Amino acid sequence: MESEIINKAKRTDFRIVSIEETRNWREDIAEACGKIFGVYMYNANEQTFCCELAPSYTLIPLYSYAEKEITDEIAEELMAGDSLCTDVSYVHVSQVDKRNTHSTPANLNGVYYKNGGKKYREIMMNAEEYLRCNHQI
């Protein structure tokens, strides 16, 4: 008897979370900004196991924002720093879920069959581009 693998359709559930990252910035920028928050997107329906039992979300960096009102010069410094940070981060699901997360516009979510497949990558890329250009927080 042949076993048949059936790919079930999955739907993305994009969310965004902000994480305080002041300590990662130069002292003069941190002083001008107060607290600096990094904003990340993730798919709440996908979890990764990084050589451990606890599942993690894959956080994709989007942009940073300051607690205080800042000058255009400091805003440019934040954007320049953001452009250098393109690596994803893996954070335990329990750590992300206890933070204040925000839903993204529903039209960013889509249906796919294979994580990492062409359709999934396309949905992720479009959502990331939209969220980088249209700040939600």
What is the value of pTM for the model shown? Answer: 0.85
Q: What is the pLDDT of residue 5?
A: 53
Residue ranges in the chain whose pLDDT is less than 70: 1-7
Q: Is 118 a domain residue?
A: no
Q: What is the pLDDT of residue 6?
A: 59
Domain count, the chain: 1
Q: Is residue 9 part of a domain?
A: no
SS3 67: coil
- For residue 96, the tally of other CB atoms under 10 A from its CB is 18
For residue 98, being part of any structural domain is answered with: yes
User: Is 64 within 8 Å of 78 (Cβ atoms)?
Assistant: yes
Inside any domain, residue 58: yes
> Is there a domain that residue 45 lies in?
yes
